Amino acid sequence: MPGIVVIGTQWGDEGKGKATDQLGDRVDYTVRYSGGNNAGHTLVVNGEKYALHLLPSGILNPGVPVIGNGVVVDLGVLFSEIDALEARGIDTSRLVISANAHIIAPYHKVLDKVTERFLGKRKIGTTGRGVGPAYADKINRVGIRIQDLLDEELLRDKVEAALAAKNQSLVKIYNQLAIDPREVADELLSYADRVRPMVRDVARELNDALDEGKLVVFEGAQAHHLDVDHGTYPYVTSSNPIAAGACTGSGVGPTRLDRIVGIAKAYTTRVG
């Protein structure tokens, strides 16, 4: 069975989630490979409406829903979505999260909002959810990853190191209060026990699944024209929602992708 990528070919809201959901119970793995909770899918299943921002739409089907390493994860949002689905009788216990996925920390959201205000009329139009700053930390090699939650001492060291420079900027440039690294670490660690059973080596698991002939769908978030490299820069997102992003955002090679499905709508609108 193939690896299939479903992407948006415009600026989002083309119906990617619906297209993925139509594959239904034939899919063994549904992989979200980019973006954060600045994106999302709205699905209607048996007359019930579901709005998902971090969880792959495959969470509503029998296969394994996967959050890949290319996603930045706001843990509060993630567990709010999980709790909301569980309250409606949806089993979320199959969810798998890459150990290498980066975390949106509380200070990312603070920085996102204050820097956008500082830009004034030159602002980008960010959602203020910390996605851009989390990706910036990833590239600057000071990011916090899912696996760091499993080592308290390491996590506290990383948070303190990340905030050393950020607090200088918040106080001296943006006239904001400094953020206490201990409070940030405590908040992140409060999710550790819930996250632990979900953490996997996603790249290995997906490659093994493809070797076994299983059907793996890579579910795009946002769309081609919002790609940080190939979109309408600088009015783009901070990741690669194009088909190639499925490889870097999940850990499978390009030869594992058998089909790319681009979703378009008859009229073009720009989301956000």
Q: Any idea which residues carry the catalytic annotation?
A: 13, 41
Q: Treating both helix axes as pointing N-terminal to C-terminal, what angle do 152-172 and 181-189 enclose, rounded to 10 degrees?
A: 140
What gap in Å lies between CA 185 and CA 92, rounded to an integer? 26
Tokens of 119: 């830009």
**Positive or negative: CA dihedral 147, 100, 188, 50:** negative
C-alpha 61: how far from chain center: 19
Pairing of strands 3-8, 216-219: parallel
Closest-CA residue to 188 (of 221, 163, 205, 164): 163
- Say which amino acid occupies 149: L
**Helix, strand, or coil here: 145?**
strand
3-state secondary structure (DSSP) of residue 12: coil
Element (H, E) at 91: none
Name 237's Cβ contacts closer than 8 Å, sequence gap at least 6.
35, 38, 39, 131, 222, 226, 227, 228, 231
